[in-house]
Amino acid sequence: MTDVPTDPFRDDMLKGRVVFVSGGSSGVNLGVATRFAEKGAHVTLVSRTEEKLIAAADTITSAGGSADYAVADVRDAEAVRAALELCHERHGLIDVVLSGAAGNFLAPVNKLSSNGFRTVIDIDLIGTYNVLKHSYDLLRRPGAALISISAPQAVRPMAEQSHAGAAKAGINMLTKNLALEWGGEGIRVNAISPGYIANTEGTSRLIDTPEKSEALLRKIPVGRLGEKTEIADLALFLASDRAAYITGAIFDCDGGLTLN
């Protein structure tokens, strides 16, 4: 029996590609950026906090990858545009855009302020719109791949998650609309719905007691939380030439959570 390689992806599969990652200073997005850099891409990390960005870029470069950063709040369209243009000025046409900046917290609707609802919509949905829209003129054609980060709340109602559900449902439809509008120019647009991923701020906020953790694991068919590397490998595939015929798709990577 032939041994199955632990890493089925070529080390140079993204060699020379330019990757822009919003929300790239931590969590799933940093995991994806790190994986892309391992495969030869240059990554530009974007978030609001420069200290976190410096640390994230240092993590990638210290491992032998290529990374820099730009400070921007995804809610600010002009700041997003400037960050994208800086990436383009430094490295040329952008091959891959990962839009992953997000905000979330638990709140029932009757205790959720309009400002709290709007904040999540602005970060998740408007932020994704800003990143994808303003990348348009700077993308490599044909061949550009855009990937947004969605969530199971987009299709599966969850208590105390009306704000996140509305935002992520919007991301799903935005993904499909852009795939339809931009496909003829050789731009692919897909989304990943990660579910609950271990050792991330988002999961720790939503599962803040042992009781919630146990209850959640009973709802996940595979019986465990996901790993950042599992999301990163899916993103790596979608960014690669191997996914050249895939666009407008929302990929669940949630251990079967949305089936329950």
Domain residue extents for the chain: 18-251
Answer yes or no: CATH 3.40.50.720 is held by domain 18-251. yes
- Do residues 147 and 99 touch, judged by C-beta distance below 8 A? yes
Q: What is the pLDDT along the chain (260 residues), one digit of tens a residue?
A: 455 557 889 889 999 999 999 999 999 999 999 999 999 999 999 999 999 999 999 999 999 999 999 999 999 999 999 999 999 999 999 999 999 999 999 999 999 999 999 999 999 999 999 999 999 999 999 999 999 999 999 999 999 999 999 999 999 999 999 999 999 999 999 999 999 999 998 888 778 788 888 888 999 999 999 999 999 999 999 999 999 999 999 999 999 999 98
Q: How far is CA 1 from CA 7, 70, 91, 220, in A?
A: 18, 48, 44, 32
3-state helix, strand and coil shares in percent for the chain, rounded to the nearest 5: 50, 15, 35
Cα 164 from chain centroid (whole Å): 15
DSSP 51: H
CB 132 within 8 A of CB 178: yes
CB 148 within 8 A of CB 128: yes
| Distance, CA of 234 to CA of 230 (rounded, Å) | 6
Phi and psi at residue 232, to the nearest 5° = -60, -40
How far apart CA 179 and CA 171 sit, in angstroms, is: 12
Residue recorded with tokens 């799933």: 28
121 three-state secondary structure: helix
Q: How many other C-beta atoms are found inside a 10 Å radius of the C-beta of residue 162?
A: 17
What is residue 137's predicted lDDT score, i.e. its pLDDT?
A: 98
Nearest one of 50, 163, 190, 57 to 103, comparing CA atoms: 163
Total-model pTM: 0.94
What's the rounded Cα separation, in Å, for the pair 120 and 48? Answer: 15
14 contacts: CB under 8 Å, gap ≥ 6: 36, 39, 40, 41, 95, 96, 236, 239, 240
> How confident is the model at residue 210, as a pLDDT?
84
